[in-house]
Amino acid sequence: MSNAITGTGSYLPSIVVENANFDRHQFLNSNGVPINSDNKVIIEKFKSITGIEERRYAENNLNTSDLGYFASLKAIEDAGIDKEELDYIIFAHNFGDVTQGKSQGDMLPSLATRVKHRLGVKNPKCVAYDLLFGCPGWIEGVIQSNAFIKSGIANKCLVIGAETLSRVVDDHDRDSMIYSDGAGAAIVQASDNQGEILNHISATHANGEAYYLFFGDSYKTESDEDRRFIKMYGRKIYEFAITHVPQAMKECLDESGMTISDVKKIFIHQANEKMDEAIVSRFYKLYGLETPDNIMPMNIGKLGNSSVATVPTLYDMVKNDKLNGHSIAKDDVIIFASVGAGMNINAIVYRV
């Protein structure tokens, strides 16, 4: 018996926001001074770096927990299990439920508890809790599920990653164009022939790196609005990611018993196209190799960066042949990897 991902599901919001929608925004520097460039130039440069052409935003009447619930229904159905068999529901997110037009995130009760309630799970021994681990949260939830099952205290776990980042962005910040909404979910359970978690690694770098991503004021300094927004030091995150993530991936792979030639796909957090390409390129260079063609599926161009939802959404799409040019087959060895607020990194080597 090994621990496997036996079912997946995702939810992509219906509102498509193209880059052209940002043409009328007043983009400011962090000191409140207008950026001395035409918006069309700003948007074009943004696209060339991130690869993002459009992103998805949640409908006004839906919240993060709703998106997670919809993805969970699909994952439970895909795994073919009874919801009452769930021992854990782990919900990875960053800001809780942020109601459209409101300034506060709501995490009382936990989003995992809300999903359990919506699913109608009656078993009180099904433990529901939230996981705050930045963008690597869903992968960390899978790692925790693996530990629960190995220890004998669980048999089946539901791991959700969902976010509505469109409600915590500063319209005057160029980085607001990066973020999006979405949800992905997976069932992790002991299985004879449906996959195997071969190895995993996690780390938190907080000696100077802790606040590379943070909650901050609007760049519109004269605003009276009492709100804070997701902010980041993009260059520092880029340098951190391309330095630490490739090494973590290599360590995880080397300790898994697999070789670099065994790897068929790398599912990396959809943060920024150029950054992800640099991470994977440096990973292969650690083995003295060039990056193989078609090794890294990407959906950031159409879906944007939905934080904890990017990896499970991407995996669900490829697994179900919904991303052109990419597919996986039984016994393929793949890598999940992510980096995000904390600063946290993690990786899993997985045999499909």
Looking at 193, 226, 259, the residue that finishes a domain is: 193
Quote the CA–CA distance of 327 and 29 in Å, as a whole number.
42
Looking at 193, 217, 235, the residue that finishes a domain is: 193
Please determine, for residue 83, whether its predicted confidence score (pLDDT) is greater than 90: yes
pLDDT at position 133, please? 97
pLDDT at position 193, please? 84
pLDDT cut 70: percent of the chain above it: 99
Is the domain of 156 the same as that of 251? Answer: no
Give tens-digit pLDDT for 253-271: 999 999 999 999 999 999 9
Is the domain of 177 the same as that of 224? Answer: no
Is the domain of 227 the same as that of 274? Answer: yes
Looking at 155, 172, 193, the residue that finishes a domain is: 193
Q: What is the mean pLDDT of residues 56-85?
A: 97
Is the domain of 206 the same as that of 315? Answer: yes
Residue with tokens 């001074």: 33
Is the domain of 265 the same as that of 316? Answer: yes
Is the domain of 222 the same as that of 186? Answer: no
Is the domain of 162 the same as that of 225? Answer: no
Q: Bridge partners of 201?
A: 347
More confident residue, 246 or 222: 246
Please determine, for residue 156, whether its predicted confidence score (pLDDT) is greater than 70: yes
Is the domain of 161 the same as that of 208? Answer: no
pLDDT at position 94, please? 96
Q: Which of 10-14, 26-30, 126-130, 162-166 has the lowest mean pLDDT?
A: 26-30
Is the domain of 250 the same as that of 206? Answer: yes
Range of the domain at 203: 198-351
Please determine, for residue 46, whether its predicted confidence score (pLDDT) is greater than 70: yes
Is the domain of 334 the same as that of 204? Answer: yes
> Which 3-state string (H, E, C) describes the chain?
CEEEEEEEEEECCCEEEEHHHHCCCCCECCCCCECCCCHHHHHHHHHHHHCCCEEEECCCCCCHHHHHHHHHHHHHHHHCCCHHHCCEEEEECCCCECCCCCCCCECCCCHHHHHHHHHCCCCCCCEEEEECCCCCHHHHHHHHHHHHHHHCCCCEEEEEEEEEHHHCCCCCCHHHHCECEEEEEEEEEEECCCCEEEEEEEEECCCCCCCCEEEECCCCCCCCCCCCEEEECHHHHHHHHHHHHHHHHHHHHHCCCCCHHHEEEEEECCCCHHHHHHHHHHHHHCCCCCCCCCCCCCCHHHHCECHHHHHHHHHHHHHCCCCCCCCCCCCCEEEEEEEECCCEEEEEEEEC
Q: What is the mean pLDDT of residues 93-116?
A: 91
Give tens-digit pLDDT for 275-299: 999 999 999 999 999 999 999 999 9
For residue 183, the domain's CATH number is 3.40.47.10
Please determine, for residue 274, whether its predicted confidence score (pLDDT) is greater than 90: yes
Radius of gyration of the chain (CA): 20
Q: What is the mean pLDDT of residues 304-317?
A: 98
Is the domain of 57 the same as that of 127? Answer: yes
Cβ–Cβ under 8 Å, residues 187 and 16: no
* pTM, full prediction: 0.95
Q: Which of 88-102, 130-144, 223-237, 298-312 has the lowest mean pLDDT?
A: 223-237
Residue with tokens 């990786």: 347
Q: Which of 11-15, 143-147, 221-225, 257-261 has the lowest mean pLDDT?
A: 221-225
Is the domain of 264 the same as that of 335? Answer: yes
Q: Domain tally for the chain?
A: 2
Mean per-residue pLDDT over the chain, rounded? 95
Q: For residue 54, report the phi and psi dihedrals to the nearest 5 degrees.
A: -155, 165
- Please report which confidence band the pLDDT of residue 224 belongs to, taking 50, 70 and 90 as the band edges: low
Please determine, for residue 182, whether its predicted confidence score (pLDDT) is greater than 80: yes
